[in-house]
Amino acid sequence: MARAFEVRRQRGFVTVAILCFIALYAPMVTLVAYSFNAGSSLALWEGFSLRWYGAAWENEAVQEATIRSVVVAVSASVLATAIATMAALGTTRVPHYRGLTAVYALINQPLMVPEIVTGVALLVVFAIVKEATGYHGLFYLIAAHTAFCIPFAYLPIRARLQGMDSRLEAAAADLYASPWAAFRHVTLPLMFPGIIAGAMLAFVISLDDVVITEFVKSAGQDTLPTYMLGQLRRVVTPEINAISTVLLAISVAIVSIFFLVTRKRT
Amino acid sequence: MDQDSISPARAAETPQETPAAQAVPAIDVLNVSKLFGEGQSAVRALDDVSVAIGENAFFTLLGPSGCGKTTLLRLIAGFDHPSAGQILLRGEDISELPPNQRSVNTVFQSYALFPHMTVRQNIGFGPKMLGWDKARIDRTVTDMLALVRMEALADRRTDQISGGQQQRVALARALAPRPKVLLLDEPLSALDYKLRKEMQTELKRLQHETGITFIFVTHDQEEALTMSDRIAVMSAGRILQIGSPREIYLHPRERFVADFIGDTNFLAAEVIEAGGGMARLRLAGGGEAEATVPEGVAATGRVTASVRPEQARLVAPGQGALTGRVAGRVYFGTDTLVTLRLADDSAFTLRVQNSLTDGEPPGEGAEAGIALAPGALQVLRD
Ligand SMILES: Nc1ncnc2c1ncn2[C@@H]1O[C@H](COP(=O)(O)OP(=O)(O)OP(=O)(O)O)[C@@H](O)[C@H]1O
Ligand SMILES: [Mg+2]
C-alpha cells in the first residue's frame, strides 16, 4: 500500500537534522561555556570561574552601555507599541478603504528595507537635524529604534485584533457602551495579550540592534551591542562571552514569555 | 388589537379609531428603504418597508435567505441607517441615533458573549454602561440569572458553558437593561433539534414574563407559526403580508406567502362573478366553487386560487367541487397524504386524518370527489 510522502521517513533525515541542530547550537554552547573560563583565552580552557561576570559587572563602560541600552529599548518599545496599537486599530477596526494595502506595506517597510540602508538614511537626516538644532542627545537613537521596532510590535497586535470577533464591539455598543467605553471594556482587554507580545518583541529587537545604532549614535553613546563590537576590535577576553551570555539569557526569557502570551488558549 | 399593517392596507385595516389602534406602537417603520452600494450595482435590500409593531408582542419576520430580515433588524438596532424613511421607537424618531442611544437590545446569532468576562459580568454589562448603581445592577443580574435558570453557572467564563447555556446568557444579557424592544436574529439556528424546541418554549415564556416586545427573525415557517403573535412575511426586500399565524396560514394574500408557509394546492380558475369579498370561480380542474377574495386583490379574469391539503375532504365521485383520480398515497401515521390528478392533469393533494373506524382512503386509480371546506378556497394576488 502506498504511503503518503513523509519527510521523517527519508533516509538520512535524522542525520541531517542532527547536523543542523549542532550547527545552530554548538557556537552558543561554546560561547556560554567559555564565559566561565578561569583563564583569559577564548580558546583555551583553564578551569571554572565567575571572574569574567564579576569583571563585566564592575566595568564602568559596560554599566553605562547597559543602562543606555535599557533606556533606549524601554523607550523605543513603549513608543513603538503605542504607535503600532493605533496602526493595528486603524488597519483592522475600520471598513475597508482604498489604500489599506499600501498603508499595510508602509507600516511594515522596516522589515523589507535593508538595515544598512535605513542606517545610512538616518545618519544623513540626523546629521542635518543635529547641525540645525545643536542637540546631540539620546533622542536620535530612541527615534531610530522606535521606527524599526514598529512592525515587530504591529504584527502580533494586528494578529490578535484580526482573530477577534468584531461583533463583540457591536454587542458592546448595543448594550449602551459609548465608542470609548466599548474600546476600554471590550477591545482593549481582548487585545492586551497582543500588546504585551508586541512590546516584548520590540524590546528584544531594540536591545540587540547593532547596524542602525552604529550609524545613528553620537560619540560616547554606545549601547551594549555596539560596545561589544568595539571591544572585539581590541583585546578580546571572556568578558565578552559573559555579557553575551547574559544578553542571550534575557532574550530567551523574553521570547519564551512572548510565546506563552501569544499561545492560543485551548 | 391591530397595530401591525403594511402601508397600502393600513387605512383599510383600521376602519374605526379604537383605543388600541391609537396607542403608539413600540416600533414604527415608515417607508424605509436600504440600498447597499451605488449606481448600477446597488442592491436594494429593503424596498419601501412599513410596519408597526405593537407593545408586548412576539413579532416575527419570516422570509427566505437574502430577503432583508437581518438588514431590517440592523436598522432598528442602529448598526446601519436607512437610505430613506424613518424608524420610530415609541413615537420618537431614532433613525440616526447610534446603537448605544437606543433602548433596543439584540441577541446575536453568534451570541457575541464577551470572552474575558464571566456569565455574571456579561449580564451586568448593559446596566453598568447605563450607569445604574451597584445594588441595582446586582439585583438585576440575580433576577436575570434566575429568569434564564443560570444561577449555578454565574461565575463561569463564557467559553466554559455549552451552546444552549451561552444562548441563555445572551438572552439574559440583552434583557438585563430592560430594553423597550428585543431583537433576535435567528437565535436558535445554531442549536440542535431538541434544544431548539426547548428554547422556543423558553423564548415564549420570557416574552410573556417580561412584557418586552420581541422582534424575532427566522426563515423557519414552523417556528414562526408556533411562536408568534404576528408574522410579517418578507420577500426580496418587501413585506408581503402581516397577520396572525392563523391569518397568514389560512388567508395568504399572495402566491408567494401561500407557497412559503405550509403545503398548499394552487388551482387555476376563472372568475364568473365577484363582490363583497367573495367570488364564484370556474376551476380549470373542473367544477365551480365559492372563494374568498382578500383585501386589495383584484378578482377578474384568470386567477390563481389556493386551498390547504387539510381543508379538503374525499367524497364520493360526482360530489364536491372537484373530481379526480387517485395518483398516489403516502402514509404518515397520524394522517395520509393522497394525491389526485384532476381533469386538467394538475395535481391536488389532500391530507386525510387516519382513524380506525373510517378505513383506508381509496387506492391508486380510484375515482374520487373533492369537497372543499367553506371559506377555505382563496383567490391570490400573483
Ligand atoms: N453590507 C452589505 N453590503 C452589500 N449588500 C448587502 C449587505 N448586507 C446585506 N446585503 C444584501 O442585502 C440583501 C438582504 O440581506 P440580509 O442579510 O438582510 O438577508 P436575510 O434576510 O437576513 O438573509 P439570511 O436569512 O440569509 O440571513 C442580500 O441580497 C444581501 O446580499
Ligand atoms: Mg440574516
Q: Shortest CB distance from B116 goes to which of A170, A177, A189?
A: A189
Query: Comparing C-alpha atoms, which of A265, A262, A95, A82 is closest to residue A188?
Result: A82
* A25 occurs within a structural domain: no
pLDDT of residue B359: 74
Mean pLDDT of B269-286: 88
Q: How far apart are CA A88 and CA A92, in angstroms?
A: 6
With 50 as the cut, is the pLDDT of residue A172 above it? Answer: yes
**pLDDT exceeding 90 applies to what percent of chain B?**
53
Measure CB to CB from residue B112 to each of A165, A176, A189 and give the nearest one. A165
Residue with cell 387555476: B268
Integer Cα distance of B299 and B277 in angstroms: 9
What pLDDT is attached to residue A40?
85
Query: Residue A138 has what DSSP assignment?
Result: T
Most confident option among A237-251, B2-16, B122-136: B122-136
Per-residue pLDDT tens over the stretch A105-153: 888 888 888 989 999 999 999 999 999 998 888 999 999 999 999 999 9
Give the nearest partner residue to B112 out of A167, A177, A178, using CB atoms.
A167
- Please tell me if residue A263 touches chain B, with a CB cutoff of 8 Å: no
Q: Report pLDDT for B11.
A: 36
Looking at mean pLDDT, say which of A251-255, B111-115, B282-286 comes out highest.
B111-115
pLDDT-based confidence at residue B12 (cuts at 50, 70, 90): very low
What confidence tier does B288 reach under pLDDT thresholds 50, 70, 90?
Answer: confident
Q: What's B216's DSSP letter?
A: E
Q: How far apart are CA B220 and CA B234, in angstroms?
A: 12
Indicate whether B17 pLDDT > 70.
no
CA distance A138 to chain B (A): 40
How many angstroms does the Cα of residue A96 sit away from the middle of ligand 1? 18
Among protein residues, the one with the nearest Cα to ligand 1's atom 5 is: B36
Q: Which residue lies with its CA nearest to atom 17 of ligand 1?
A: B70
Counting ligands in written order, the one closest to the CA of B234 is 1
Helices and strands: H and E segment counts in chain B: 10, 20
**Cα radius of gyration rounded to whole Å, chain B:** 24
Quick one: pLDDT at residue A2?
59
Query: According to the model, what pLDDT value does residue A180 have?
Result: 94
pLDDT tier, B13 (very low <50, low <70, confident <90, very high otherwise): very low
Q: Under DSSP, is residue B129 helix (H, G, I), strand (E, B) or coil?
A: helix
Integer Cα distance of B173 and B182 in angstroms: 11
Is residue A13 one of the residues assigned to a domain?
A: no
Residue B214 confidence (pLDDT) above 90: yes
A208-233 pLDDT, tens digit each: 899 999 999 988 899 999 998 988 88
With respect to residue A41, please indicate whether it lies within any of the assigned structural domains: no
Cross-chain CB nearest to A190 (options B77, B116, B177): B116
Q: What is the ipTM of this complex?
A: 0.78
**For residues A9-45, b (16+ Cβ closer than 10 Å) or e, as one string?**
eeeeeeeeeeeeeeeeeeeeeebeebbbbeeeeeeee
Interval B219-259: pLDDT, tens: 888 899 999 999 999 999 999 999 999 999 988 989 999 99
**Cβ contacts of residue A186 below 8 Å, gap of 6+?**
A168, A169, A171, A172, A177, B114
Provide the residues around ligand 2 (an ion) whose CB is within 5 A: B 70
Q: Look up the CATH number of the domain holding residue A232.
A: 1.10.3720.10
Q: What is the CA radius of gyration of chain A?
A: 23
**A181 closest CB neighbour out of B114, B129, B173:** B129
Burial of A131 (0-12, 13-18, 19+ CB in 10 A): exposed
Pocket of ligand 1 (CB under 6 A): B 36-37, 43, 45, 63, 65-71, 219
Q: In the predicted model, what is the mean pLDDT of residues A147-176?
A: 92
The answer to whether position A107 is within a domain reads yes
Q: How far apart are CA A3 and CA A245, in angstroms?
A: 46
Strand order across the beta sheet in which B213-218 lies: B104-107, B181-185, B213-218, B58-62, B230-235, B238-243
Give A162→chain B minimum CA distance, Å.
15
Residue A82 lies in a domain: yes
Beta strand B181-185 with B213-218 is: parallel
CA of B162 to the centre of ligand 2 (A): 23
pLDDT confidence of A1, banded at 50, 70, 90?
A: low
Q: Which three cell numbers stand for residue A249?
A: 539569557
A32 in any annotated domain: no
Residue B6: is its pLDDT beyond 50? no
Q: In what order do the strands lie in the sheet with B92-93?
A: B43-53, B27-36, B84-89, B92-93
- pLDDT of B99 reads 93
Burial B82-116 (b: 16+ CB within 10 A, else e): beebebbbeeeebbeeebbebebbbbbbebbbbbe
Are residues B99 and A167, on separate chains, in Cβ contact within 8 Å?
A: no
Q: How far is the CA of A165 from the centre of ligand 2 (A)?
A: 17
Q: Which of B62, B69, B215 should be mutated for ligand 1, with most atoms under 8 A from CB?
A: B69
Chain A: residue nearest B115 by CA? A190
DSSP reduced 3-state for B65: coil
CB contact under 8 Å between B100 and A173, yes or no, is yes
The model carries a pTM of 0.79
| B296 vs A177, more confident | A177
pLDDT at B2 over 80: no
Output the residue whose Cα is nearest ligand 1's atom 25. B65
Q: What are phi and psi of A113, to 5 degrees?
A: -75, 130
Max distance between CA atoms of chain B, in angstroms, equals 77
The minimum CA-CA distance between A121 and chain B, rounded to whole Å, is 44
- In chain B, residues 93-112 whose CB comes closer than 8 Å to chain A: 98-101, 104-106, 108, 110, 112
Nearest CA to ligand 1 atom 1: B36
**Does residue B317 surpass a pLDDT of 70?**
yes
Q: What's the B186 CA to ligand 2 centre distance in angstroms?
A: 7
Residue B358 confidence (pLDDT) above 80 = no
Please give the pLDDT value at position B14.
37
DSSP-assigned letter for residue A48: B
Domain ranges, residue A232: 59-265
Task: Flag whether residue A27 sits within 8 Å of chain B, measured between CB atoms.
Answer: no
> Which grid coordinates are listed for B46?
429593503
Domain assignment present for A30:
no
Contact A200, A254 (CB under 8 A): yes
Cell of A15: 542525520
Q: Give the pLDDT confidence score for residue B334 in this predicted structure.
A: 86
Residue A172 at interface with chain B, using a CB cutoff of 8 Å: yes
Tally of domains within chain A: 1
Strand partners, B84: B33
Backbone angles phi, psi at A219, to 5 degrees: -60, 135
In a 10 Å sphere around its CB, with 0-12 CB exposed, 13-18 middle and 19+ buried, how is residue B315 labelled?
middle
A190 reaches B (C-beta below 8 A): yes
The alpha carbon of residue A156 is apart from the nearest alpha carbon of chain B, in Å, by 19
Angle formed by the axes of helices A224-232 and A60-92, to 10°? 130
Looking at every residue in chain B, the average pLDDT score rounds to 87
CB within 8 Å: B126 and A171: no
pLDDT for A264 equals 55
| CA-to-CA dists, residue B100 to A62, A182, B108, angstroms | 56, 10, 16
B-chain CB neighbours of A182 within 8 Å are: 100
Contact B350, B312 (CB under 8 A): yes
Nearest to B339 by CA among B319, B374, B302, B312: B312
Asked whether residue A206 is assigned to any structural domain, the reply reads yes
Give the C-alpha separation, A84 to A149, whole Å. Answer: 9
* Residue with CA at minimum distance from ligand 1 atom 30: B66
